[in-house]
Structure 1
Amino acid sequence: MERPAWAPAGIDISVPSVSRIYDYYLGGSHNFEVDRQAARRAMEFLPGLPKIMQANRAFMRRAVRHAVAEGVTQFLDIGSGIPTFGNVHEIAHAASPEARVVYVDHDPVAVAHSRAVLAGDDRTGVVAADLRKPRDILQSAEVTRLLDLERPVALLLVAVLHFLEDSDEPYAAVAELRDALAPGSLLILTHASYEGIPLSEEVAGGAVRVYRDIRNPLVMRSSEQIKGFFDGFELLEPGVVSMPNWRPDRTGPLAEGESPEDPFAFSGYAGVGRKA
């Protein structure tokens, strides 16, 4: 298998990666054939996966703009993946040139590509670290350099917590991050769930098995379990809802000939909470 020029030395390009699979769903070019094969297998069971990822990104962009409108201009994006068009720093900087963004991921391709994309931008930083070890993130040089934890920070956990099994203690990880943040900080979160998927759990479960087979278990949680991540935060309206329903840009009914959201876009949940 030929190694692309952009692939960091030392990574095994025969093993699929969730961040590169996600990049493929979004139409990106930083993925390998092994990632595309895994993605296509998952889409055999859940053909709407790209639509779900697009809805996820659209929610993220609305939430970032909301954060800046609320006066929060510091962003800590954990599980940030491979930067694609319309990533957090682009949205945040368009809304506020003062915005500071730190991306965190444990995938070497995501980290290497993020550093290449962001080279020369002194308002952004990249940390190679894992959500399971919040202290490593909080004490990293880039967080120390760019973020003032005495002031509100928007913590993004977008499409990442469902890759933590219960044995990884995801609620404890979120609580540790929350406790390090100043009052007025925001938690911006999305999470996969069987609820809302326009297929039976048995059929959708085939896609979940694909992720388990590539040793990246996808943990589907209920809306009540997902609300538990907001412990210590005040949920902003409209609460934990499907991604297109969190403060949609549209107002009023559909125009004649305009198509409604794809049913798959309503799979999973999104929410934003504010630390008191």
Structure 2
Amino acid sequence: MAEADRAPAGINPNVPSVARMYDYYLGGRDNFAADREAAEKMIQIGRRLGNDAREIARANRAFLGRAVRVIAEAGVHQFIDIGAGLPTQENVHQVAQRHVPGSRVVYVDNDPVVLTHARALLARDPSVVAVAGDLRDPDAILDHPQVTGHLDLTRPFAILLVAVLHFVPDDAEAALIAARVRKRLGPGGYLVLSHLYAGDVTDEAAREGRQVYSSTAAGGLARRGRDQIAAYFDGLNLLGPGVVPVADWAPGASPDGPYDFVRSGILAGVGAIRKDQAAPARSGRAAAGS
């Protein structure tokens, strides 16, 4: 069957998708030729910098699993995964339910292909739902009837922004999104975040990477410095080593390293609001992004 014939209605298989590119990095098969071509360009850019895009993607996925395990074992059994991507092994609900049966998860994405796959996979699991939503309007996600009907947001929950905020190219908008997410977390809540890191990327490589992702539905890509990424956790208590290379994040790791920030492709961290800490004031609703 031709790829165009197996694409869901309304999906142009000739436009690369960041979710399907990530699926390709992880060795999945839910991708089209345009996704593979774009992903291979990024793999070649990474090789010139001494990085392996596939290895970085696997490390990012492993971080997700470790963070979810730590949070579940701490007694938080509600998760909202924004920019969830295509289903693969060790999804949030699989990790959480392995440690705490009955954990409830909401997967959020704006890619129709992702939602089609997720809903088919999760159709028989009442503890999990998949919802259409835009990262640029986290309040709309958290106020969505399916979300509020599935989770009790008066109790602690975790929000996951894993390898997604770097698809918001504007620095001010990305910072605002993170701030709005933090303001919706109550005592005992968690923010799990990973983000593409500038490191020692040359201007030429950064430009080439942006050019590749400008052809995707996401429309852009931003590598940011460690201070910018750490600022997304402002007001939260950072777990373990703080904001470190994604492969090195572990709850018991020391913040003193040694960590190779120069070659790291993605930085990651987990922030929490203590149960005895006052809940941040709720942010106002902003207009949804495109």
Separation in 2, partners of 1:209, 1:59 = 27
Between the aligned partners of 1:80 and 1:236, the Cα distance in structure 2 is 22
Residue 72 of structure 1: how far off its partner (Å): 0.8
TM-score by length of 2: 0.84
Match of 2:38, SS state, is helix
Q: Given the superposition, is the C-alpha separation of residues 184 and 207 from structure 1 closer, same or farther in structure 2, using an over 3 Å criterion?
A: same
1:202 Cα deviation from its structure 2 partner: 3.5
Match of 1:111 among 105, 111, 115: 115
Q: Deviations over 1:255-276 (max 9, x none)?
A: xxxxxxx999832200000024
- TM-aligned CA deviation for residue 213 of structure 1: 4.0
User: Runs of 4+ in structure 1 displaced over 3 angstroms?
Assistant: 199-205, 262-266
Counterpart-to-counterpart distance in 1, 2:161 and 2:150: 19
The within-5 A match list for 1:155-170 is 155-166=159-170, 169-170=173-174
Letter in 2 for 1:32: F
Q: Which secondary structure does the structure 2 equivalent of 1:211 belong to?
A: helix
Distance in 1 separating the partners of 2:31 and 2:172: 27
Q: How far off its partner does 1:209 sit?
A: 2.7
The residue aligned with 1:50 is 54
Show the 5 A alignment for 1:45-124.
45-47=45-47, 48-124=52-128
Shift of 1:45: 1.1
Listed one character per residue, the Cα deviations across residues 191-246 of structure 1 (whole Å, up to 9, x for unaligned) are 00121x6x645445433331124462110000000011112211112100001211
Structure 1 residues 127-175: Cα deviation after superposition (integer angstroms, max 9, x where no partner): 1111101122012122112211111111100000000122671222222
Tell me the equivalent position of 1:247.
Answer: 250
Contact 2:73 2:100 in 1 (8 A): no
Residues 43 and 207 in structure 1, CA contact (< 8 A), matched pair in contact too? no
| Correspondence for 1:212 | 214
Provide Cα deviations, 1:47-79, integer angstroms capped at 9, x if missing partner: 311111000000000000000111111000000
The answer to whether residue 236 in structure 2 is matched with residue 233 in structure 1 is yes
* Of 226-235 and 56-65, the range deviating more from structure 2: 226-235
Moved more, 134-143 or 106-115: 134-143
For residue 224 of structure 1, the aligned residue among 218, 223, 227 is: 227
Which consecutive unaligned segments of at least 5 residues does structure 1 have? 251-261
Distance 1:152 1:31 in 2: 35
- 170-179 or 143-152: bigger deviation: 170-179
2:13 is aligned with 1:13 = yes
Q: Does the 8 Å contact 1:152/1:185 carry over to 2?
A: yes
Q: SS at the partner of 1:120?
A: coil
Shifted more, 212-221 versus 67-76: the winner is 212-221
Alpha carbons of 1:136 and 1:96: their partners in 2 closer, same or farther (altered >3 Å)? Answer: same
- Residue 3 of structure 1: aligned partner: 4
- Determine if contact 1:28/1:84 at 8 Å carries over to the other structure: yes
- Normalised to the residue count of structure 1, the TM-score between the two structures is 0.88
Partner Cα separation in structure 1 for residue 117 and residue 214 of structure 2: 26
The answer as to 2:141 corresponding to 1:143 is: no
| Higher deviation after alignment, 100-109 or 167-176 | 167-176
C-alpha separation between the residues in 2 aligned to 1:34 and 1:227? 34
| Alpha carbons of structure 1 residues 264 and 10: separation in structure 2 relative to 1, 3 Å | farther
Q: Which moved more, 1:62-71 or 1:160-169?
A: 160-169
How far is the alpha carbon of 1:92 from its aligned partner? 0.7
Q: For structure 2, which runs of at least 5 residues remain unmatched after alignment?
A: 254-259, 278-290
Match of 1:270 in 2: 268
Q: Is the 8 A contact 1:194 1:201 kept in 2?
A: no
Cross-structure match for 2:288 = none
Correspondent of 2:189 among 177, 185, 194: 185
Percent of paired sites with the same residue: 47
* Distance in 2 of aligned mates of 1:8 and 1:140: 25
Q: Cα distance 1:242–1:263, how it changes in 2: closer, same or farther (>3 A)?
A: closer
Write the distance in 2 (CA, Å) between the matches of 1:53 and 1:265: 14
**Contact 1:52–1:265 under 8 Å retained in 2:** no
Task: Please give the root-mean-square deviation of Cα atoms over the aligned residues, in Å.
Answer: 2.4
Instruction: Give aligned pairs, total.
Output: 264
Q: 1:113 to 1:265 in 2, by over 3 A?
A: farther
What amino acid maps onto 1:113 in structure 2? H
